[in-house]
Amino acid sequence: MKKEWEGWGLAVVVTAGVVLGHSEWVAGQGRVSALFVLGDSLVDVGNNNYLASIARANYFPYGIDFNFRPTGRFCNGKTFVDLLGDLLGVSSPPAFADPNTSGIRILGGVNYASAAAGILEETGQHYGARYSLSQQVLNLETTLNQLRGMLSPANFTDYLAKAIVVLVFGSNDYINNYLMPDLYSSSFTYTPPAFANLLLNRYARQLLALNSLGLRKLFIAGIGPLGCIPNQRASGRAPLGRCLDSVNQMLGTFNEGLRSLVDQLNQRSQGAIFAYGNTYGAVGDILNNPTAYGFSVIDRACCGIGRNQGQITCMPLQYPCPNRTQYVFWDAFHPTQTVNSILARRAFYGPPSDSYPVNVQQMSLLH
């Protein structure tokens, strides 16, 4: 596998024409100028409310612990990025699709994440409209063009250098593409390792595009253990009380490859820092030792219908479990706010096994 990655990495470098060179990073009193978020429903703050999509969470009980107000977040409360923003001391950025997201509101960053979105264009298409990874990059470019008109050239360059970009992609390319053979042909066309390599090559292109726009600090989250989410446990393919190991195993190539890609980008991108978030390891720790984290329910959702409450997500006005802090999963696909809080803290403060090669706190101080 090592040789495969060396060859793949070289292809990325040659195609993208990345300038070779190492950056000298010095810890300083850096300040985060903005937070830009690209991703899927794990970090969507309401973009899909404005799209012709059936992947929406703009109804109760979503948001029951977010001032008792559904916003479009696929959670009982705050998302991973909301909580990461709290740790960084910046406001969670508004949804790009919200018509009120304009003018000075975009100075602190914008959230482009879209439920059902994937790295591949076709991923999640059965849900209707969504912003794919490439579309989100284009949307971000639109925002930067607006900001360029609001700031002087020197201030704009400094602004971009101090901004942090968070990307959360890949889950839908599996659960709403590769693992749906009745709707998508990808599992017939690609072996699991070949599919992971396809995703990584497409991802690499967009990461390089973001860097070429002047963005210098990018945190890229890996995929969590999808074989353990209620949706996959409810499929009937998992042994009783167990995760679906075959699904978890196929994610290895992607996550290991993403970490390897981060190394290559850091070696070849002058003046930038890329970091890999080990979501799989962090969620795995929780599932392997739930009581240590205060959880008592790991195999079914707090809100949903069917086996493991995982066959259908929260229904409108459905009353969820009352002891939400004890549940790992909020609905068929998404973690509770309590889990998001753990993931945010590990990304922000964690050692290289959590966030590699630097954590988000360290990234915010680099200049």
Domain positions in the chain are: 27-365
Lowest-confidence pick of 130-134, 237-241, 252-256, 265-269:
237-241
Who contacts 131 (Cβ-Cβ below 8 Å, separation ≥6)? 47, 51, 96, 97, 112, 113, 114, 117, 139
Distance (Å, whole) CA 259 – CA 276: 6
Residue 357 to residues 13, 196, 219, 256, 262: CA-CA distances in angstroms? 20, 22, 10, 14, 9
pTM: 0.92
Return the pLDDT at 145.
97
Return the pLDDT at 26.
38
Distance (Å, whole) CA 166 – CA 364: 12
Return the pLDDT at 23.
36
Q: What phi and psi values does residue 305 have, to the nearest 5 degrees? A: -135, 150
Is CATH 3.40.50.1110 correct for 27-365? yes
Query: Is the pLDDT confidence value at 29 over 80?
Result: no
Distance (Å, whole) CA 211 – CA 220: 13
As a residue count, the chain comes to 367
Return the pLDDT at 365.
95
Query: Is the pLDDT confidence value at 14 over 80?
Result: no
At 239-259, the pLDDT tens digits run 778 899 999 999 999 999 999
Query: Is the pLDDT confidence value at 333 over 90?
Result: yes
Distance (Å, whole) CA 79 – CA 6: 35
H-assigned helices in the chain: 2-16, 80-88, 133-148, 153-162, 171-173, 186-189, 192-212, 230-233, 245-250, 252-268, 279-288, 337-349, 360-365
Do residues 258 and 203 lie in contact, with contact meaning Cβ atoms separated by under 8 Å?
Answer: yes
- Active-site residues, by number, are 41, 331, 334
Return the pLDDT at 36.
98
Query: Residue 66, exposed/middle/buried by CB under 10 A (0-12, 13-18, 19+)?
Result: middle
Distance (Å, whole) CA 62 – CA 68: 8
Query: Is the pLDDT confidence value at 160 over 90?
Result: yes
